[in-house]
Chain A
Amino acid sequence: MFVIPGEWLAADEAAGIDLTVNDQALRFDAPPRRTLADALRDNGFTGVRVGCEQGSCGTCTVLVDDQPVRSCLVLAVQAEDSSVETVEGLAGEAELHALQRAFHEHGALQCGFCTPGFLMLAAGLLRGDPKASPERVREVLAANLCRCTGGLPILRAVLAAQRELLEEETR
């Protein structure tokens, strides 16, 4: 999509950005240089955590049009017209998502700072590739860092949630 630039915006002049966050249509007013991570946090989605601002640690992972994205490496203006999903939208009305329950049951979190990023990374994987092999799950989870658990309990949790989701589907 080509956008014909009108007047240039100053670095700190707000741009109106229309997007959907967790199925809710929203308009963010964010300067063009503001990252999506910061803009989401400014608008109350503080489950988006900023761990490195360098695209390395994955704590800021959200889904943009179903794909896991490091929101510190995306400008908010780039998310115009996109559908963004954050950890705040993961649970259903009545109960937690299978991934959230599995994280709890498998000791997959301690300090909790990296947890939303891992949940969204795994949610994106299982949505796009529900039958991903254990090797593939492991490979994808290696994209994010967890300093407390090392990540093995997270792998166990994601594999357990995957089993549960597949069973639900076949029922």
Chain B
Amino acid sequence: MTRLIGASVERSANLPHLTGASRFVADIQRDGQVHARIVRSPVAHARILGIDTGEAEAVPGVIAVITAADLPDVRIPIRLAMAETPMANRFLQPPLARDVVRYVGEPLAVVVATDPYLAEDAAELVDVDLEELDVVANLGSGAPVVHQEAGGNVVVTVPLRSGDVDAAFAKADVVVRDRLRVHRHTAVPMETRGLVAEVDQNSGRLTLWGAAKVKHFTRQALSDMLGIGRDRIRLVEGNVGGGFGVRGEPYPEDFLIAFLALRLGRPVKWVEDRAEHFVATNHAREQEHELEIAATADGRLLAFRDLARCDQGAYVRSQGILPALLPALHLAGPYRWEAFSIESTGVITNRTPVGTYRGPGMTEATFVRERMLDRLAAELGLDPAEIRRRNLIPPDALPFTFAPAPGSADAPTTYESGDFPACLDHLLARAGYEDLCRLRDSRRAAGECVGIGLATYTEVGSMGPFEEARIVPTTNGRFVVHVGVASLGQGVETVLAQIAAEALAVPMEAVSIDHRDTDALANGFGAFASRSTTLAGNAIVLAAQDLRRRAAERLGVDPADVEFSSGRAMAESGAPVALHELGEGYGRFDKPHPSFSFGAALSFVSVDRGTGRVRVLRHLVLHDVGRAVNPELLRGQLAGAAAQGIGGTLLEELCYDEQGQPQSTTFADYRMPTVEDLPEIEVIIAEYPTPANPLGVKGGGESGMVATPAAIANAVADALGGAKVTALPLTAERVLDLLRGEDDHTWRNSRS
């Protein structure tokens, strides 16, 4: 039997995509379906005085118009226990605005018509009477209070402390401090969201197509909000056109479309348009940090203090306090600190709510920390690689945990495996770091503006609580493997089929992975926090063992001697048993603590002094994935994530004006990278298996993102020769400001 784990098996999902046969949610057609259009708030903050739906209802073809008055008084719940607090629950979003609208794009009403064009026409006739209120348009403005019932705009303050910070600062030879900012940007998958809901008139069961990421949770949330048993709700995931964190969370529309199908007794379809997507689907990343780092004269890191303000947008959505919690978990990174103190505060603004986007919190924290490490290195006259090398946690200190100090939030940050310094050296060797420095110097001498930037990171992943797997042998000798994770286009079905086939010792072709239907598996937690391969993969291994054990009992042999072949389970002795007579194999893999992984990025950039345009000439990402199940697919994930990171650093920004009006609602205003903006990404996979799961794998789907903005920002700062790079994005306009020696004008629109 050839080993499948570790082999770059071809993606199984490609053929229908190449021929146009794949089915995305917009391709779902149900008999008698009608089309919904959401009426959204045109202003950022207002009291709703009235909504007149009469004119819209009178349009021929319009079937229904609903407002909050038609709905039960429910809120979209928080998904993860670690992201939920009693205070956060006071800021949850109703499916349609009640009494007050709090961001541009907030759903106010829904129009249902026989044709989507008609629904869109009629939606413009819904007359909303709004009394505008003052707006919290950025992180700095504390007033007015956006949710009166909550009493303030602070959702949460996460304190994370380790060691004696004051004592460590007292020993410092040097302290660097600054204010740093990461801008609002987000995932923007090529497929917008969409849903089709239908109620079976005989069984009364509701089916919702268009599910993704966390189907089972969304089913539970809908069950609670609609007040019907979850056994009456089925969520189906078709092809999904990218997720990157934002797609598949329960949104207002998931409730609304399901509610309308129940109320109207007809299939209801909704496909988000791109302009809606830019205001309706979760935003991410915006935060400001005041960070100070203490070190000794020989470049040994002692301690840091960080005060963070993290934008939650107008409501706390299903990801709860993660926008404030995740940066806190990643500020310490892979370095040995004597002490640190973090206060990360999540605040409400009158803008689209914030969720998680690939590498959430960790990308922002890495930018903030790594930018300041370069400042420190410059102050001490150390090479950026050297200051990192001197402070990375050495391999003999693993497993490593930062012991929490009194008053600290509970944060299970344990680094289980790896060799951080060896990985850094590997990256530097692959980059040809010394030669690259010489190249930079010679190009500079010739008048070019070029720079090198480096960054390292830790990344939480493989998050629990658990996943299950069922392996069902079929009468034709195949194995259907049901899992509760999801595919967003990343190739997880191929990776899980490799694991299943190897565990069963059968060819890949004998295995199919089913992740599409909540009816197929009782529980499932979904595809987030780079967990699918670890959690579902290990559950599959356990399910395969269970199936083997069943076969061994029937055959009277040791489980290791069982062979599955030609539709039968057999061994040296005993009469072969038909596979489908074995029953099914079941496995459940529990993961009480997440696993952290390590990685690094290096970027070589040039800056056009005339235009401010930054070009990434080389970009390398290294990631320790524990064990690469499919190296080629992993490379694709790492390179794709790095490409997004380059876009987020240099091009993309969700801008708002002072009235909270979004300024980036088209692809012309929200510039995403194309082949013209990107270099070939150089990917390095490191494999230090973790002891925390039998497969030894850690996450990898987000990792190419995490250090990319930090590395590019450090490279731009290096190119600019000490200019004060403290804020992202580094668009041409902002880099021009820096070239002119002006303070980055990012700050003009921010708190000052």
Residues of A within 8 A of B (CB): 11-12, 31, 33-34, 41, 45-54, 56-57, 59, 86-88, 90-91, 96, 100, 103-104, 107, 109-116, 119, 138-139, 141-155
**Which of A41, A86, A96, A151 has a CB less than 8 Å from the CB of B678?**
A151
The CA-CA distance from A141 to B22 in the complex, in Å, is 22
Question: Which of B488, B673, B681 makes the CB contact (< 8 A) with A111?
Answer: B488
A79 to B274 Cα, complex, angstroms: 24
* Other-chain residue from B22, B61, B275 in contact with A112 (beta carbon distance below 8 A): B22
Can you list 21 contacts pairing A with B, beta carbon distance less than 8 Å? A12-B117, A34-B117, A46-B27, A47-B20, A49-B191, A87-B19, A96-B19, A103-B14, A107-B632, A109-B18, A110-B491, A110-B636, A112-B16, A113-B242, A143-B674, A146-B190, A148-B242, A150-B646, A150-B675, A151-B678, A152-B679
What is the CB-to-nearest-CB distance from A107 to chain B, in angstroms, rounded to a whole number? Answer: 5
Chain A CB within 10 Å, residue with most, of B15, B190, B639, B680 = B190
Q: Tell me which residues across on chain A come within 8 A of B668, comparing CB atoms.
A: 54, 56
- 16 extra interchain contacts, Cβ-Cβ under 8 A, other than A47-B21, A148-B490? A12-B117, A49-B24, A51-B192, A56-B666, A111-B189, A111-B488, A112-B17, A116-B20, A138-B675, A145-B674, A147-B672, A149-B636, A150-B643, A150-B673, A151-B643, A154-B675
For A91, list chain B residues within 8 Å (CB).
Answer: 18-19
| Complex Cα gap A130–B22 (Å) | 29
Which one, B640, B666, B675, contacts A110 given CB within 8 A? Answer: B640
Chain B 659-673 near chain A by CB (<8 Å), digits 1 or 0: 000000011100011
A112 contacts B244, C-beta separation under 8 Å: no
* Interfacial chain A residues near B675, Cβ < 8 Å: 138, 141-142, 150-152, 154-155
Which chain B residue has the least Cβ–Cβ distance from A113?
Answer: B241
Contact (Cβ within 8 A) A115 B678 = no
Q: A144 with B674: in contact, given A12-B117, A46-B20, A59-B190 (CB under 8 Å)?
A: yes
Inter-chain CA distance A138–B680, complex, in Å, is 13
Q: What are the 9 tightest A-B residue pairs by CB atom distance, in nearest-first order?
A: A47-B20, A111-B489, A150-B643, A112-B17, A113-B241, A56-B667, A87-B20, A151-B675, A142-B676
Cross-chain contact of A149 among B10, B275, B632, B640 (Cβ < 8 A): B640
Check if A111 sits within 8 Å of B242, measured CB to CB: yes
Determine if A111 and B240 form an interchain contact, defined as CB atoms under 8 angstroms apart.
yes
Residue of B nearest to A151 (CB): B675
A57 proximity list for chain B (CB < 8 A): 190, 274, 667
Number of A-B residue pairs with CB-CB distance less than 8 Å in the complex they form: 178
Decide: A88 and B19 in contact? CB cutoff 8 A: yes
Complex contact A147–B188 (CB within 8 A): yes
Q: Are A54 and B667 in contact (CB under 8 A)?
A: yes
Please indicate the chain B residues that have their CB under 8 angstroms from the CB of A107 in the complex: 632-633, 635-636
B13 contacts partner chain A, Cβ-Cβ < 8 Å = yes
Among A12, A59, A147, find the residue whose CB has the most chain B CB atoms closer than 10 A. Answer: A147
Contact count band on B: 35 or more
Q: Check if A113 sits within 8 Å of B20, measured CB to CB.
A: no
Chain B window 12-36, contacts with chain A (Cβ cutoff 8 Å), 1 for yes, 0 for no: 0111111111111011000000000
Specify which chain B residues have a CB less than 8 angstroms from the CB of A139 in the assembled complex: 676
Across the two chains, which residue of chain B brings its CB closest to A54?
A: B666
Q: How far is the CA of A12 from the CA of B680 in the complex (A)?
A: 48
Q: Which of B115, B489, B635 is packed against the most chain A CB atoms within 10 Å?
A: B489
Q: Please, which residue of chain A has its CB at the minimum distance from the CB of B14?
A: A104
Instruction: Decide: B681 and A150 in contact? CB cutoff 8 A.
Output: yes
Q: Is the CB of B281 closer than 8 A to any CB of chain A?
A: no
Query: Contacts of B636 on A, CB cut-off 8 Å?
Result: 107, 110, 148-149, 153
Partner among B16, B20, B667, B674 whose Cβ is within 8 Å of the Cβ of A52: B667
Kindly state the separation between the CA atoms of A91 and B639 in the bound complex, as whole angstroms.
29
Known contacts A47-B21, A152-B643, A52 near B274 by CB under 8 Å: yes
Residues of A within 8 A of B240 (CB): 111
Chain B interface residues toward A at CB < 8 A: 10-11, 13-24, 26-27, 61, 115, 117-118, 187-192, 239-242, 244, 271, 273-275, 488-491, 632-633, 635-636, 639-640, 642-644, 646-647, 666-668, 672-681
Question: What are the residues of chain B within 8 A of A48 when measuring CB–CB?
Answer: 20
Residues of A within 8 A of B677 (CB): 142
Q: Which residues of A contact B118 (CB under 8 A)?
A: 12
Residues of A within 8 A of B273 (CB): 53
Q: Which residue of B lies closest to A110 (CB)?
A: B489
Shortest Cβ distance from residue B59 to the other chain A in the assembled complex, whole angstroms: 11
Decide: A148 near B489, CB < 8 A? Known: A59-B190, A109-B14: yes
Greatest chain B CB density within 10 A among A110, A152, A154 is at A110
Closest CB-CB distance, A58 to chain B, in whole Å?
A: 10
- Give the complex CA separation of A139 and B344 in angstroms: 44
Interface centre among B10, B21, B241, B635 (most CB of A within 10 A): B241
| Alpha-carbon separation in the docked complex, A53 to B272 (Å) | 11
Q: Which residues of B contact A34 (CB under 8 A)?
A: 117
Question: Which has the most chain B C-beta neighbours within 10 Å: A31, A86, A142, A144?
Answer: A142
A146 nearest in chain B by CB position: B190
A51 x B14 contact (CB < 8 A): no
Q: Cβ of B678 and Cβ of A147 under 8 Å apart?
A: no
Residues from chain B with Cβ under 8 Å of A109 in the complex: 14, 17-18
A149 touches B639 (CB 8 A): yes
Given A45-B20, A112-B489, verify A145-B667 contact (CB < 8 Å). yes
Q: Shortest beta-carbon distance, A24 to chain B, in Å?
A: 15
Residues of chain A contacted by B239 (CB below 8 angstroms): 111-113
Return chain A residues, CB-CB under 8 Å to B244: 147
Known: A104-B10, A152-B643. A50 touches B26 (CB 8 A): yes
Min CB distance, A136 to chain B, in Å?
12
Chain A residues with Cβ below 8 Å from B23 are: 46
A116 to B241 Cα, complex, angstroms:
12
Residue of B nearest to A86 (CB): B20
Inter-chain contacts of B666 with A (CB < 8 A): 52, 54, 56
Contact partners of A138 in chain B: CB under 8 A: 675-676
The distance in angstroms between the C-alpha atoms of A80 and B579, with both chains bound, is: 57
For A152, list chain B residues within 8 Å (CB).
639, 643, 675, 678-681
Q: How far is the CA of A86 from the CA of B547 in the complex (A)?
A: 46
Contact B489 A113 (CB under 8 A): yes
Give the docked Cα–Cα distance between A96 and B666 (Å).
34
CA distance A19 to B673 in the complex (A): 35
Whole-angstrom CA separation of A107 from B23 in the bound complex: 20
Complex contact B274–A33 (CB within 8 A): no
Assess whether B644 is in contact with A147, with CB atoms less than 8 Å apart: yes
Closest to B20 in A: A47
Name B188's closest neighbour in chain A (CB-CB).
Answer: A147
State the CA gap A142–B675 with chains docked (Å).
Answer: 5
Cα distance A54–B675 when bound, in Å? 20
B20 and A111 form a contact (CB under 8 A): no
A59: which B residues are within 8 A, CB to CB? 190
Minimum C-beta distance from A96 to chain B (A): 6
CB within 8 Å for A51 and B190 given contacts A104-B18, A119-B18, A139-B676? yes
Quick one: which of B19, B20, B240 has the most chain A CB within 10 A? B20
Interface contact A111-B117, CB-CB below 8 Å: no
User: Does B488 contact A150, Cβ atoms closer than 8 Å?
Assistant: no
Instruction: For B17, list chain A residues within 8 Å (CB).
Output: 109, 112, 115
What is the minimal beta-carbon distance from A105 to any residue of chain B, in angstroms? 9
| Bound Cα distance A74, B481 (Å) | 44
Bound form: Cα–Cα A159–B24 in Å: 28
Check B20 against A150 for contact (C-beta < 8 Å): no
- Whether B189 pairs with A147 at a CB distance below 8 angstroms is yes
List of A residues within 8 angstroms of B635 by Cβ: 107
Minimum CB distance partner of A117 in chain B: B190
Across the interface, A100 reaches (CB within 8 A) one of B18, B187, B642, B644, namely B18
Q: What is the CB-to-nearest-CB distance from B358 to chain A, in angstroms, rounded to a whole number?
A: 10
Verify A100–B489 contact, CB threshold 8 A.
no
- Nearest B residue to A137 via CB reads B675
What's the minimum C-beta distance from A77 to chain B, rounded to whole angstroms?
Answer: 14
In the complex the two chains form, what is the Cα distance from A111 to B133 in whole Å? 42
Q: Hey, which chain B residues are within 8 Å of A103, CB to CB?
A: 14, 18
Residues of A within 8 A of B26 (CB): 41, 46, 49-50
Bound-complex Cα distance A160 to B211 (A): 36
